Structure 1
Amino acid sequence: MMKLSLMRDVFSTVNSDWDCELAAELAKYWKHEENWIKMWRASANFVCYIKKEEQHFVLRFNSDSERSLESIESEIALLQYLKSKKIHISRPILSINDKYVESMKTQYGTFHTCVFERLCGEHKDIDSMDSNDFLIWGESLGKLHNAFKEMPKEIAVHRSSHMDIIEEYLNESQSMDYAELKEYEYLSNWLKTLRKNKENYGLIHYDFELDNVIWNEKGLYTIDFDDSLYSWYVADIAYALRDLFDDGKKLQEKDERFLSFIKGYRNVNNISREELLQMPNFYRLHHFISYKKLQRSIDLAVCEDNSDWMNDLIRKLTDRKNSYFIGF
């Protein structure tokens, strides 16, 4: 989640028809219909739709204070590799300068922009999926992890690890609340006990939930690799299924949908019951990291100068942050 002050500044360039003046400036490096560019959403990135000859594309951008150019370029290299391994992904589009990422200084700071094909298909709702859907979903994640395991060393993917993230929080430990500090210490000590080898640890998607999975007649496509990091592969399973288990609060290993997902995964990859039993702690880790991210993101207070939607968002995110804290 980006800082709310950045979101406020960028949305000051968006009109009532969702046309974004800043996005229009950033999109000039790609051929498109100049009078058609629509803001879609903002969370970890700003995402807009652009159009060329009736075909829609996804324009994604963010401030260099949020994502480095090196990180985005490594993501593009990862996508190119996955495409070569026959993994269904959203294809990045070259700019008029034959670059996948373009950078531009603006009055709101420097932004890095890239464009992807917009995939046709559907996002499935977890409550409407049958056991075969879960099997296909799990198999797709298993295939993705196999591709990660086979990734050549020369494909530099500049990403942090879960341990890196936890160690970064050590600098903040003296300012942590007692409950927050105890949770940090528990998670830090737990991570150090986990075995790490090529079969159980590597790059993970980190957000393989249904919002980032598109189903069409060609198969299951995966989008949004920008949050990928290094961790244990079981963490990807846990985070993918968090909606199934009420964000990890109600883990039921005998749930038929869970068993179908794991069966699909095991059709193409290996995961042990011992590893799956670590899922509750990975949910705890996810909640702690989400809490810290929200601490950073909520850099605005509710006030009359804000738009109504921004004040509503501040309240919503503050409630979510507090719910994580209560769980420590």
Structure 2
Amino acid sequence: MLKLKNLFNNVDLAEMIVKNWAYDEPSLEMFSFYRISSNAIYPFRSEGKIQLLRFSPKAEKNRENLLAELDFIAYLHDKDYGVLEAVVSKNGEKLVEIQTPWGDYFASVFKRVPGIQIGETDVSDHIVFHHGKTLGKLHQLSSAFEPSTHQRWSYNDVFDWIQSILVKFPNEKAAFHETQKLQAYFNTLPKTSSNYGLIHYDFEYDNVFYDELTDSCYAIDFDDSMYHWYVMDIVQALDSLEDCVPPELVQQKRQCFLEGYQTEFDISNDDMTALWTACNRFANLYSYARLLRASEEEWKNEPRWLVDLRQKLTNAMKSTSMNFGKEL
């Protein structure tokens, strides 16, 4: 999540940035459908087709990570995997670095994928099966992926980043000990091409689209991708089921997902059982650190939406920190 000061809608900034790409002038009225979280996303059209402008302050992102993300997406697209596609700027760049009156920014543009978010479907067994199948295919392709130039960060880099945040908050002793505990645990685990590689990290129901016409899924938002155990993706995806289906159907849907996954990539049930708790704890710790960083600054007379958001973040941090320090 971006720092709270970067969550404000800024149409002038978006217009300044989008001019680095070809666009249909009347379509800028679509900017009213913007959303801002880990990035600012503004939709527009180019030659009548919907595209998405993504940008964030340079201070919020790592250039090497962004370039590595774009390389991985291009690799997946070349392998006919259902994935969003980056659009080159007028200067032929997929990642544009821009100086503006509001600071320096990284920006990219992506074509909109077909279909609708899985969370907006009826989440049938058939669709859940395809969701799992699509993640299995991603991991199968990842297991053969060899980056040529740019290297995406790993779980260990994330732990180091978390510690760099926590050092600014000396009272966050529980989070610091949780970081040490989890890092030590993960560093004891074996890494092979069949259990470890570049994962999506956020393969949940708002980042996967189901297209009824082709009966297939498309993945978006690789902004959190990292080198980790493949189980991490499975845990995140399966946990997201609880937000989409009644409690009594969760186990059935999980089984559908895993059956789909295993048609493309084989993973041991023992691996999932052993890593499930640790992966959940990793996700909670990473989320906690990001929210802590995002909400660090406060201002007098904040707008109501920001006051309400700050309270939601506080509640989320309480929830994600409940198991800090417990035995794995």
TM-score, reference length from structure 1:
0.88
1:269 lines up with 2:265 in the alignment: yes
Task: Tell me the distance in 1 between the aligned counterparts of 2:179 and 2:66.
Answer: 29
Q: 1:226 aligns with which of 223, 226, 232?
A: 223
Q: 2:41 aligns with which of 39, 47, 54?
A: 47
Task: Tell me the distance in 2 between the aligned counterparts of 1:81 and 1:49.
Answer: 24
Q: CA contact under 8 A between 2:197 and 2:228: conserved in structure 1?
A: yes
Task: Tell me the distance in 2 between the aligned counterparts of 1:263 and 1:325.
Answer: 32
Task: Tell me the distance in 1 between the aligned counterparts of 2:299 and 2:163.
Answer: 30
Where does structure 2 lack aligned partners over 5 or more consecutive residues?
A: none
CA-to-aligned-CA distance 1:85-120 (integer Å, 9 cap, x gap): 110111111211121122111122111111111123
In the superposition, relative to structure 1, how do residues 325 and 32 fare at CA in structure 2: closer, same or farther (>3 Å)?
A: same
1:24 lines up with 2:15 in the alignment: yes
1:163 lines up with 2:159 in the alignment: no
Task: Tell me the distance in 2 between the aligned counterparts of 1:139 and 1:242.
Answer: 17
Q: Which 4+ runs in 1 deviate beyond 6 A?
A: none
In the superposition, relative to structure 1, how do residues 114 and 227 fare at CA in structure 2: closer, same or farther (>3 Å)?
A: same
Aligned to 1:298: 295
RMSD: 2.4
Amino acid at match of 1:27: V
Amino acid at match of 1:195: P
Question: Secondary structure at the residue paired with 1:268?
Answer: coil
1:98 lines up with 2:61 in the alignment: no
User: Equivalent pairs: percent with the same residue?
Assistant: 29
Question: Secondary structure at the residue paired with 1:255?
Answer: helix
In the TM superposition, what is the alpha-carbon distance from 1:262 to its structure 2 partner? 1.1
Q: 1:149 aligns with which of 120, 137, 143?
A: 143
In the TM superposition, what is the alpha-carbon distance from 1:170 to its structure 2 partner? 4.3
Task: Tell me the distance in 2 between the aligned counterparts of 1:169 and 1:49.
Answer: 32
The number of residues matched between the two structures is 314
Task: Tell me the distance in 1 between the aligned counterparts of 2:266 and 2:199.
Answer: 15
Task: Tell me the distance in 2 between the aligned counterparts of 1:209 and 1:41.
Answer: 18
In the superposition, relative to structure 1, how do residues 35 and 310 fare at CA in structure 2: closer, same or farther (>3 Å)?
A: farther
In the TM superposition, what is the alpha-carbon distance from 1:192 to its structure 2 partner? 2.2
In the superposition, relative to structure 1, how do residues 33 and 246 fare at CA in structure 2: closer, same or farther (>3 Å)?
A: closer
> What are the residue-to-residue correspondences of 1:124-143 with 2, within 5 Å?
124-125=118-119, 128-143=122-137
Question: Secondary structure at the residue paired with 2:175?
Answer: helix
TM-score, reference length from structure 2:
0.88
Amino acid at match of 2:277: P
1:33 lines up with 2:29 in the alignment: no
Question: Secondary structure at the residue paired with 1:175?
Answer: coil
Where does structure 1 lack aligned partners over 5 or more consecutive residues?
A: 14-19
